[in-house]
Structure 1
Amino acid sequence: MTPRKLLGIARRWRPSRFDRIAFAALVLASLVLAGKGWLDTHPEANPWAPLTLSDPDGWATRHKLAGLREDGARCRAILERTGVAHTVLPPTGEGACRRPDRVALSGLPLNPRTPPATCAVAAGLVRWIDTVVRPAARETLGSPLARIEHLGAYSCRRLYGRASGRWSEHATGNAIDVTAFVLADGRRISVLEDWSESGPEARFLHRVRTGACQAFGTVLSPDYNAAHRDHLHLDQQTRGWSGVCR
């Protein structure tokens, strides 16, 4: 059959309603299969894929980490799957300051030692330190990270130490405040002293603050208010998909 005859047949053919529906279904099925294949190879963008803390960053990463606050068992399974050494501690406290979810990590370069915190905060710390802070120290400051100084995780108090109002995430150990970073070459980069300066130290601090927003539901820095002029506040309060990064 000549090409001219084939073209004539194509012009005379009118697809039925069933043909159009079948074609649309075929296209939709192809798109679904292609999307599933892509998600299978990009777990960081798949909200249903099990999280591993070594996964690359993706649009679903922060949400999956913050969502661990509501599911301690799933969080501990992620620590196990990622090979993170940890100890599950018994619940303690009472009332608004009761801490039913407590995990202690070992091996992190925190000073003082890594404090007990919620599993979600622990998972966020592991991811932030390994995928953000260590690379930033080498690439921006030219020296490996030695340790991170902090003010602790637990403090049974309301926001800003007020006598009334909402309770702080620190009241349940669901937050940690970071004050400084010390490098292997002895340099100390302080949030209080270096945040507003020019130079690589300030660039490093801003980089690790922005990177923390992929690992924590809330990140507050000196850019937020004067109460945070000397530290980065990191917590895992459930905030939906957006989070707070300031």
Structure 2
Amino acid sequence: MSRAALIFWLLLILVMVAVDYYRAWQYIPPEWNPWARVELDHPMTPITRLKLTGLRDDQQQCTELLATAPDAWLDHLPLEDYTPVESCPLTNVVRVSRTSVELSSTFTATCPLVAAWVMFEQQHLQPLARQHLGSPVAQLDHYGTFACRNIYHRENARRSEHARAAALDVAAFRLADGRRISVLDDWDNEQEPARSKFLKDVHQAACNYFGTVLGPDYNQPHENHFHLDTSRFGICR
């Protein structure tokens, strides 16, 4: 066999292998396919989680992802990068007026944080509210996202994720039937255990969507709220 013929057959074999490889990936669900773009309705898997993490460095893809959200899921405005406080520049951020629930106040947050929240809200928060409390969440009470500071305001500590608007502090959930489920009051509510169960299941489920999730069992500063951020530390407490 000539050298040219050998090269031809080798190339043909490589092409056939590549085609088979491509066809194999077509049968993998997109939430498990590393090459499929993440979508807001994708179930949370380790691959989906990695894709969300990757949005930190891909502003365009993240902006395009949020643009696919149904109006009932999200009302937001992408913002240009800016520096509201010296030494705390904000990049890849959006202004959120509401999600599928009303907000105690509008907030500015990084696009990946908002994407993770929208997915979490639709896939776990609302189902858990209906399961444990028989009513959907109608409003989110929160303490905000942005604060130009180090963690716990310590002078020599690292910067908080709040310093780049990459963290959301959740204080309570107001249900459609008027009840208010408070992290401070209901985390260990023995009189109405459904409230406590709801909060603890919400906290646990959030750990699949956010890099760090902190609550009352972590320390005293978090006794009245859940801290949710998109850091890569992987703390769930």
Classify the TM-score, shorter chain: 0.7 to 0.9
Distance 2:106 2:50 in 1: 24
Distance 2:82 2:23 in 1: 48
1:136 aligns with 2:128: yes
Q: CA 1:102/1:140 → structure 2, altered by over 3 Å: closer, same or farther?
A: same
**Counterpart position of 2:90:** 99
Where in structure 2 are the equivalents of 1:213-228 lying within 5 Å? 213-228=207-222
Give the aligned residue type for 2:88: C
Match of 1:123 among 90, 107, 115: 115
Give the aligned residue type for 1:46: N
Q: Deviations over 1:151-209 (max 9, x none)?
A: 00000110011122101000110111001011111111111111123411111011111
Distance 1:215 1:114 in 2: 21
Task: Confirm or deny: 8 A CA contact 1:194 1:202 kept in the other structure.
Answer: yes
Task: Confirm or deny: 8 A CA contact 2:186 2:196 kept in the other structure.
Answer: yes
State the structure with more CA Rg. 1
TM-score by length of 2: 0.82
Task: Confirm or deny: 8 A CA contact 1:137 1:144 kept in the other structure.
Answer: yes
Match of 1:232 among 206, 226, 233: 226
Task: Give 1 or 2: higher strand fraction.
Answer: 2
SS of 1:237 mapped into structure 2: coil
**Counterpart position of 1:80:** 67
Q: CA deviation at 1:95?
A: 5.2
Q: CA deviation at 1:110?
A: 4.3
Q: CA deviation at 1:35?
A: 4.8
Out of 64-73 and 144-153, give the one that drifted further.
Answer: 64-73
SS of 2:46 mapped into structure 1: coil
Distance 2:163 2:218 in 1: 21
**Counterpart position of 1:113:** 105
Give the aligned residue type for 1:43: P
Q: Deviations over 1:183-241 (max 9, x none)?
A: 111111111111123411111011111121222111111122222111110111234xx
Identity percentage of aligned residues: 41
Distance 2:40 2:166 in 1: 18
Task: Confirm or deny: 8 A CA contact 1:62 1:213 kept in the other structure.
Answer: no
Unaligned runs of 5+ in 1: 1-24
Q: CA deviation at 1:47?
A: 2.4
Unaligned runs of 5+ in 2: 1-13
